[in-house]
Structure 1
């Protein structure tokens, strides 16, 4: 979903829980470093729709650098929201959102990577 080179899985989580799944959050990196620090790695985020029908949903990826704008994709999707990319996103956050039948079922922030 993220394109060539993004094959190192950072994170995959069924949401909102492993037993009640509406979507799956995927985070990938390409293993490269784009700056002087370990967490300066490109990140790609996708929120896969597991309901089988179009839903209002979105994904936002924010790096830990305040000067980097958040990247996001929100709308009505049948397969997935995203991909969205951050060039230095390994120590950032991923926000996932989904509404099903007028009810918000996912409204979650997760950390990206292993950082202090």
Structure 2
């Protein structure tokens, strides 16, 4: 869903004008962290954008090789992320038990 720069600038905790938000979005698009799927669409993160967000907010590269979570631990992690970042976390496990892998998908509902 598109979010106007004016709305984003007036959100709680933001003290910037809408032009600042538009300029930031333009810079993110220039470095290929955001893109617009079509002319009338808003901007959405690229895979590199999601990778950057995860790397910036979580120290996953340092802990991921050593972290073999149980299902209950992932539920606790998801419950902790949801209110803090106002996102819904969906965690998936591989079908084959011999593989090691975890996929976390973050969905923004604002």
Q: Which structure is richer in relative contact order (CA contacts within 8 A, separation 6 or more)? A: 1
Bigger CA radius of gyration: 2
> TM > 0.5 between the two?
no
Q: TM-score range by the shorter chain?
A: under 0.3
Greater fraction of residues in strand: 1
